Structure 1
Amino acid sequence: MNDNLGHEAGDELLAAIAKKIITIFQEAGCYRFGGDEFIILSFDKSETDFQNKLQKLSKLWTAECSASIGSVWLEHAKDIEKNLSVADEKMYVNKNHYYKNRF
């Protein structure tokens, strides 16, 4: 986005994505982690609720604007850094799968 339409357009896209994330994960903590990465700390009552929200999130993307999603569900999160690391690894697996199937 930044390369083709400029940084202002990229910033507007990130703001629009953040609004959509907040709409789906209304009671979660949503944070921009850096660049184009977001962290969502969701406190859903069940894994099913969490997965349903992820499904809604994954349906937002199009061929022109895609995203890789990494997630981890835990009943009791004791080590936030480890959990973020697991979700980050899953995000890169998802990203590699996307590019492998795209080309």
Structure 2
Amino acid sequence: MDVPFSFTAKGQSFPAGTYDVVLDAGNSFVTLANKADQSKHLTWTVGPAEPAATAALVKFDTTGTDYALKSIQLGTRVTPNLDRNNKRGVSATTSIGGE
């Protein structure tokens, strides 16, 4: 999945680039990993969700030119709201879908 902008998640900065989004074999965790820099990865728990229109759906909260990872959905599994501590005033939500 190509993310055309840098973003933050769990207090860490992530660069724009290509990311793998993978669900573990037990369907309990999702991992987001930068293909160019494997040190840039995070793993979260997932729960049930309505099926997404694409194989992977990643949402970001947008505040001005800043992006914060909001959620990751693979099929019928989704993370909780990852940007719960946002106190900056979200102006929009951006979604990226892919395989």
Q: What interval of TM-score do these two structures reach, taking the shorter chain for normalisation? A: under 0.3
TM-score for the superposition, normalised by structure 1: 0.25
Which one has a larger percent strand, Structure 1 or Structure 2?
2
Higher RCO, 1 vs 2 (CA within 8 Å, ≥6 residues apart): 2
Greater share of helix: 1
Larger radius of gyration: 1
